[in-house]
Amino acid sequence: MKLPTRDEFAMIIENAKVAGRKAAESRYIFLKERSCPNAMALDLCGNAYIILSVDGRSKLGKFLNSIQSSPLLNVSVTKSNRDGGYVLFINDMGSYHELSVWIASNKAALEVIKEGLVIDGRLKEYNT
């Protein structure tokens, strides 16, 4: 895999954000249209985030460290020893509270990132 430039990485993140927004909107509409009048109240509140499986000593790990120290617009990257990789937060994918909406949006974004960077990753979710 070729190491991306900051601009290429920003484009991958932008494409991931677009995919995430579409998935979030689709899931939100699904919840809203369910026959139960309080369907959205039945979904857990929470969030999900992306964990990229990248070794911090690799070229990509060093690149992500540079993004961490000099951030791009609408994305934050943090090295996480606990989660075993880099935690990626993409801002501006919507203002939802429903856990299933966040899972759908981050799952779609993760697929774009995995394809664009040719790496592995996973979601981590939590409810509030």
14-32 pLDDT per residue, tens: 999 999 999 999 988 888 7
Is the Cβ–Cβ distance between 45 and 128 less than 8 Å? yes
Cα–Cα distance between 20 and 39 in angstroms, integer?
22
Confidence band for 128, pLDDT divided at 50, 70 and 90:
low
Cα–Cα distance between 64 and 74 in angstroms, integer?
15
Three-state DSSP at 86 gives strand
- Which token pair is 29? 């509409």
Cα–Cα distance between 123 and 90 in angstroms, integer?
13
How far the first Cα of the chain sits from its last, in Å, is 38
Confidence band for 84, pLDDT divided at 50, 70 and 90:
confident
Residue 46 identity:
G
Q: Is 90 exceeded by the pLDDT of residue 118?
A: yes
Residue whose structure tokens are 């991931």: 16
Q: Which of 48-57, 60-69, 88-97 has the lowest mean pLDDT?
A: 88-97
pTM (2 d.p.): 0.87
Average pLDDT, the chain: 87
More confident residue, 12 or 29: 12
